[in-house]
Amino acid sequence: MPSLELTDIRKAFGATPVLDGVSLTMEAKEFIAFLGPSGSGKSTLLRIIAGLETADSGEVRLEGERIDTLPPGKRGVAMVFQHYALYPHMSVRENMAFGLKNAKVPRGEIAARVEQAARVLEIEAQLDKKPGQMSGGQRQRVAIGRALVKQPRLFLLDEPLSNLDAALRMRTRVELAQLRQRVDAAVIMVTHDQAEAMTLADRMVVMNERKIQQIGAPMEVYRRPANAFVARFVGSPAMTLAPATLVDGEAFATVRLGDGSEVATRVSRAGLPEGPLQLGVRPEGVRIASEGAAATVELVERLGERTLLYARLGDGEAITAEDEGDSRVRIGDKVMLRIDGAAAHLFGPDGTGFHAEEART
């Protein structure tokens, strides 16, 4: 049985639509990330599942039971907010036990649940401390522990790492990945950080303009973006998108860029729409070569194991290429770039993606 089912969820605040017919099915124990820019509707959707907002229409079912008609405390859902929202005058133990006390859970069971959650989160030694005596990462674990003791059927995490510095965010991300293996529940995390989504999630739900743009495993979304928005949003640095014109070819499409260079792709000509196209290629599909498209390097980003070159083609279009870690390229250099047609994508006038046949799985 699916863990969570969303059916045609719609929501508007006054005259401003926020969600426009969102549907989703989530499997038991699955970890899903809602990924998208600010204003895409991902946090509102999470709050509707939690019962903190009411949908204008649609249904929310958890393990077959309709829950959108139930109050938040009766839904079997626990939410961890972006801000820890811990009571500063209470100890960690008291913070974790607070919700259970309000729910009239017997004292002995409360103590057992708190101890068990503390062991899972490895904060047994912190139980008698106040939140002010703890680091940001430890306070985040307490917030997760407060949700964990409720033994929910579904965890909802609202940008749980956004308040942490870079080093702590990385460590906590690893801890979340380990934690989800020990928790007997499905998890939904809202984030605008694609690294978090791609590291933690079984599937990503990419949202924009009030709708789901694509659902899929992280690498599936990366390799076969459904449209130009997903192509640009998922991946760092973003995929290069350059205007292209279809030229004569056989089974696979060959396109001409604005500077006159041509790229023979592995995208089937069959089904390509009429009208202007965009060629999409990730940095790893563009390399320095003895011949290819002429470009001028505008920025060199050295990342250790690889170097990213931000360049501009002869017609002024920006393109990002990848070079060796010890690259000798400098800003202002004139280089020739070879675009790997087998790794290229094409996007139609409406942004729909068309991908290399050999990339299909």
Q: Which of 19-33, 72-86, 227-241 has the lowest mean pLDDT?
A: 72-86
Neighbours of 302 (CB within 10 A): 12
Does residue 244 share a domain with residue 197?
no
The percentage of the chain sitting over the pLDDT mark of 90, rounded to a whole number, equals 63
Task: Give the CATH number for residue 239.
Answer: 2.40.50.140
Does residue 280 share a domain with residue 172?
no
Segment 101-130 shows an average pLDDT of: 88
Does residue 284 share a domain with residue 200?
no
- pLDDT band per the 50, 70, 90 thresholds, residue 360: very low
Does residue 82 share a domain with residue 19?
yes
Does residue 306 share a domain with residue 196?
no
**Contacts with 356 (C-beta within 8 Å, 6 or more apart), sequence order:** 265, 266, 267, 342, 343, 344, 345
Q: Which of 91-105, 169-183, 306-320 has the lowest mean pLDDT?
A: 169-183
Segment 137-146 shows an average pLDDT of: 82
Which residue type does 230 have? Answer: V
Q: Which residue has the higher pLDDT, 118 or 185?
A: 118
pLDDT mean across residues, the chain:
89
The span from the CA of 355 to the CA of 216, in Å, is 15
The span from the CA of 239 to the CA of 289, in Å, is 20
Task: Give the CATH number for residue 59.
Answer: 3.40.50.300
What's the confidence (pLDDT) of residue 257?
95
What's the confidence (pLDDT) of residue 274?
84
What's the confidence (pLDDT) of residue 359?
41
Segment 307-318 shows an average pLDDT of: 95
Does residue 163 share a domain with residue 49?
yes
**Residue where one domain finishes, among candidates 210, 226, 242:** 226
Reply yes or no on whether the pLDDT at 31 is more than 60.
yes
**Residue where one domain finishes, among candidates 175, 199, 226:** 226
Does residue 170 share a domain with residue 36?
yes
Q: How many structural domains compose the chain?
A: 2
Does residue 268 share a domain with residue 195?
no
Segment 233-247 shows an average pLDDT of: 94
What's the confidence (pLDDT) of residue 210?
92
The span from the CA of 244 to the CA of 229, in Å, is 17
The span from the CA of 183 to the CA of 185, in Å, is 6
- pLDDT band per the 50, 70, 90 thresholds, residue 361: very low
Reply yes or no on whether the pLDDT at 236 is more than 50.
yes
Reply yes or no on whether the pLDDT at 136 is more than 80.
no
**Residue where one domain finishes, among candidates 208, 226, 244:** 226
Segment 328-348 shows an average pLDDT of: 96
Q: Which residue has the higher pLDDT, 2 or 207?
A: 207
Longest Cα–Cα distance of the chain, Å, equals 76
Reply yes or no on whether the pLDDT at 179 is more than 80.
no
Cis ω for the linkage preceding 237 (within 30 of 0): yes
Which structural domain range is residue 217 located in? 4-226
Reply yes or no on whether the pLDDT at 133 is more than 70.
yes
Does residue 178 share a domain with residue 309?
no
Does residue 168 share a domain with residue 25?
yes
